[in-house]
Amino acid sequence: MADHKLDVELPALHRNGGFSDGHRRVVITGMGLVSPLGNDLASSWEALLQAKSGCAPITLYDRNQTEVQIACEVKNFDPAAHFGPRDARRLDRCAQFALVATREALQDACLSINEDNTYEVGIVLGSGIGGISTLTAEHAVMLHKGAKRVSPFAVPMMLPDTATGQVAMQFGIRGPNYCVVSACASATNAIGEAFELLRAGRAQAVITGGTEAPINPFSIAAFNNMGALSTYNDDPEGASRPFDATRNGFVCGEGAGILVLETLEHAQARGARIYAEVLGYGVTADAYHITAPDVKGPAVAMRAAIAQAGIAPAQIDYLNAHGTSTPLNDSNETRAIKIALGEAAYDIHISSTKSMTGHLLGAAGALEAIICVKSILEGVVLPTINYHHPDPECDLNYTPNSVVRKPVHIAMSNSFGFGGHNGCLIIGRYTG
């Protein structure tokens, strides 16, 4: 029980908590989702409540090309039905997901964009590797058919920021617009940066979140060759097993999660339905190793988010862990949680929903922020499925295998990325 007293000295944080610094409050008014468990938020959430796994044998390419043959694909997604055959061919799958999820989020928020507010609405999205499938496909075209055959649409399709540009054009949004690229922390950092834009008064509403479509032979081979992926090909649904002693890697996933953030004043003025409030954001870098996780960096990010939110660790009801199912990440995250939260770490319900969705890389934090909002709204903690073999180094309450019904007033979401990027969000029940 004393593991939180590990020999790690954290710096003092000079932050004003509880928004006493006069910055604007930021609320969540819309959500949209394309995930391995459903092509919208409602179907994805229902599958999560049923503790389903989205992992299955790969169908997006001939899986015999790679040693790892399983992934969490978005299923039954027909881009032509959303964009028409011609436009679908000119959009990478990464941008397609973002556009579909954004449409749902804007409709959910009942937020219309017009000439009166077009410059007051921004877009901040995260993506770790952008249009990687377009890049690898067009590179193959050049090698086999020559440079002249490379598509003129290759560059705008493969850039990580293409999704933000496409969303802006599709919905006529002319405010601040940029893409955050910080590996698996991308979406969490994007939401955090959108939060700060709104607090600073540089926009009235921001479409934010993340999108990723990394399931192709090159990406799967590259991640596998660095030892990051689960190799349980014969047990797809059980392959992602965060915090379990038999975990051996993450399962690659794809999809997009989009949230509409607004200043409280803007949301109230237009009579918007308010789902929850963003209370705090912490961001740090490990400056330690490109892939091996650190303990101090994540702990400071959590402490920073808590400080900005103006809460005590014991007030956190639910923590959606980064929980990738890799041996080092899960044990190090457990240690970081203990250091950041102290004795409260043992009382908080923690889960890794990557056990069901797989790891959406740069989009993971958006999906998991949406899960935190839904947990607050419905009073549920989703489980860590496939948890059957306790690991002595992972000794917290990971909510194994079954949904827990309990009030959730404040939720924390962690995201840590290759390169040593750490992001943490605190989301709270909106109380007016």
DSSP character at residue 161: T
pLDDT by residue, tens only, the chain of 432 residues? 445 455 566 666 544 444 445 589 999 999 999 999 999 999 999 999 999 999 999 999 999 999 999 999 999 999 999 999 999 999 999 999 999 999 999 999 999 999 999 999 999 999 999 999 999 999 999 999 999 999 999 999 999 999 999 999 999 999 999 999 999 999 999 999 999 999 999 999 999 999 999 999 999 999 999 999 999 999 999 999 999 999 999 999 999 999 999 999 999 999 999 999 999 999 999 988 776 667 999 999 999 999 999 999 999 999 999 999 999 999 999 999 999 999 999 999 999 999 999 999 999 999 999 999 999 999 999 999 999 999 999 999 999 999 999 999 999 999 999 989 999 999 999 998
* 8 A C-beta contact, residue 373 and residue 31: yes
- Catalytic positions: 184, 322, 359
Buried (b) or exposed (e) across 240-264, using 16+ Cβ within 10 A?
bbbbbeebbbbbbbbbbbbbbbbbb
Chain centroid to Cα 121, Å, comes to 22
The phi, psi pair for 56, rounded to 5°, reads: -160, 170
Strand 70-71 and strand 56-57: the pairing is antiparallel
In whole angstroms, give the CA distance from residue 349 to residue 317.
6
> For 35-153, where are the E strands, in sequence order?
56-57, 70-71, 121-126
Nearest to 347 by CA among 304, 381, 397, 390: 397
DSSP character at residue 148: G
Nearest to 358 by CA among 343, 368, 369: 368
Q: Which residue has the tokens 């200043």?
A: 263
Strand 318-320 and strand 349-351: the pairing is parallel
Pick the CATH number of 25-429 from 3.40.50.850, 3.40.50.970, 3.40.47.10, 1.10.10.60: 3.40.47.10
Nearest to 390 by CA among 331, 337, 342: 331
Two tokens, residue 79 = 């881009």
* Helix and strand numbers, DSSP H then E, in the chain: 14, 14
In whole angstroms, give the CA distance from residue 118 to residue 373.
27
Would the pTM of this model clear 0.85, i.e. be above it? yes
Which pLDDT does position 154 carry in this prediction? 96
In whole angstroms, give the CA distance from residue 86 to residue 220.
28
Which pLDDT does position 9 carry in this prediction? 67
User: Which residues are within 8 A (CB) of 214 and not within 5 positions of it... i.e. 6 or more apart?
Assistant: 128, 129, 132, 133, 252, 254, 361
Q: Is 290 exposed, middle or buried (0-12, 13-18, 19+ CB in 10 A)?
A: exposed
Which pLDDT does position 353 carry in this prediction? 98
Which pLDDT does position 2 carry in this prediction? 44
Q: Which helix (H) or strand (E) holds 166?
A: helix 162-171
DSSP character at residue 258: E
* 8 A C-beta contact, residue 47 and residue 385: no
Q: Sign of the CA dihedral 333, 206, 127, 62?
A: positive
In whole angstroms, give the CA distance from residue 85 to residue 177.
27
Q: Which residue has the tokens 């740090």?
A: 284
In whole angstroms, give the CA distance from residue 56 to residue 362.
21
Which pLDDT does position 11 carry in this prediction? 63
Which pLDDT does position 287 carry in this prediction? 87
- Ramachandran area for residue 306 (φ above 0: left; ψ -120 to 50: alpha; else beta): alpha
In whole angstroms, give the CA distance from residue 424 to residue 368.
11
Two tokens, residue 300 = 């400071």
